[in-house]
Amino acid sequence: MAYTRSLDQLRREDEPSFGGKSASLGELLAAEIPVPPGFALSTAAYASFASDHAVAAAIAGGDADGIGDAMRGVAMPSDVRDEIAGAYAALGEPPVAVRSSAIGEDSAEATFAGQQETFLWVRGVEQVCDAVRDCWISLYSPTAVSYRARLGRDREAAMGVTIQQMVDAEISGVMFTCNPVSGDPSMVAVNASWGLGLAVVGGEVTPDDYLVSKVTREVVRAQVNDKHHEYVPDPNGRGTIRRDVEDERRTARCLNEPALAALAEVAKRVERHFGNRQDIEWAIARGQSIPEGLYLLQSRPVTGVEGPKPKPAPSSAIAAVMTTFGANVKRT
């Protein structure tokens, strides 16, 4: 297999050839954390495609529309296509999510804004290949280009792609292995809403907001919000549709205490595995309950969250107590 690899065969060190998203999913699977099955496409597949004469010329030209047109006008190299078809068949040809897995993306240092393309509920090998190509095209979107320019990496445009079985999420969301507001490392902060994760990730609804103790799994805070719409698979084929949530579910709490405890437990394992604070996308499959129905869709290091303001550690317990009593003053 020159271009594809099953997600469970990937590890951290495969990031340069398969991209951060695929590598981190491989790591999660290695840690026996539930992740929907799938396979990854390497940067070599993109390189093979981009070496086509017309595509290379358009890239050299540097015009985003021109590059897109050129990429759409060229057939995928047959060896790449055959491998995708084979891996997709091995998966059982289910509906899948096709996402870019950029090099350097998902790293603690840089989040490649604008370079994360996601196509949900993709069905059939033709549609999968189209979605892969659309991911590649996104490498040349104006935001991605200017972002790379800022980082000085424009010579090295490269991308992997993740193809992963879809979870028909009844509830989904994001969780942090710390409280992103206060920086408290003993909390798992969970945002949750109905349907697929788009609504939460895209900030289209105000999700339920929970704080769960890592130490006891107790729900320390539960703020239930009005979740007015949700995304579900389009019954007519590729993609998703957005629909209104019926009144009684809108303001209903979407996660109970056992579900939150299970999420916190998984979050702790993920954090322990990676050794740093994680930002995790998760979903609960329709009609299933936690823990069987819980899947992690992505995990990456938390960026931009400060810990609690570091206070100088007291020199001794007595010194700290003296401070409480205002007795730490020295005569001037």
Binding site for another protein (CB under 8 A): 179, 182-187, 211, 213-216, 218-222, 307-308, 310-311, 313-314, 316-318, 320-332
Tell me how far, at minimum, the Cβ of 322 lies from another protein, in Å: 6
Burial 23-62 (b: 16+ CB within 10 A, else e): bbbbbbbeeebebbbbbbbbbebbebbbebeebeebbeee
Strands (E) located in 32-128: 38-41, 96-102, 118-122
Report the candidate in 117, 127, 119 with the shortest Cα–Cα distance to residue 93: 127
Pick between residue 78 and residue 324 the one whose CB is nearest to another protein.
324
DSSP letter at 287 equals T
Pick between residue 236 and residue 324 the one whose CB is nearest to another protein.
324
Pick between residue 78 and residue 332 the one whose CB is nearest to another protein.
332
Tell me how far, at minimum, the Cβ of 302 lies from another protein, in Å: 15
Pick between residue 120 and residue 264 the one whose CB is nearest to another protein.
264
Q: Does residue 36 have a cis bond before it (omega within 30 degrees)?
A: no
Q: In degrees rounded to 5, what are phi and psi of residue 112?
A: -75, 80
Report the candidate in 212, 12, 15 with the shortest Cα–Cα distance to residue 102: 15
Tell me how far, at minimum, the Cβ of 276 lies from another protein, in Å: 13
* Nearest-angstrom CA–CA distance, 83 and 93: 13
Tell me how far, at minimum, the Cβ of 290 lies from another protein, in Å: 20
Tell me how far, at minimum, the Cβ of 219 lies from another protein, in Å: 7
Query: What order do you get walking across the sheet with 4-6 strand by strand?
Result: 4-6, 38-41, 159-165, 96-102, 118-122
Pick between residue 22 and residue 191 the one whose CB is nearest to another protein.
191
CB under 8 A, 24+ apart: contacts of 306-314: 306/183, 307/178, 307/183, 307/185, 308/182, 308/183, 308/184
C-alpha distances (whole Å) from 307 to each of 184, 216, 233, 310 are 7, 21, 38, 7
Pick between residue 85 and residue 222 the one whose CB is nearest to another protein.
222
Tell me how far, at minimum, the Cβ of 182 lies from another protein, in Å: 4
Tell me how far, at minimum, the Cβ of 321 lies from another protein, in Å: 5
H-type alpha helices, 277-316:
none
Pick between residue 76 and residue 188 the one whose CB is nearest to another protein.
188
Pick between residue 287 and residue 310 the one whose CB is nearest to another protein.
310
What are the structure tokens assigned to 205, written together? 């609804």
Tell me how far, at minimum, the Cβ of 4 lies from another protein, in Å: 40
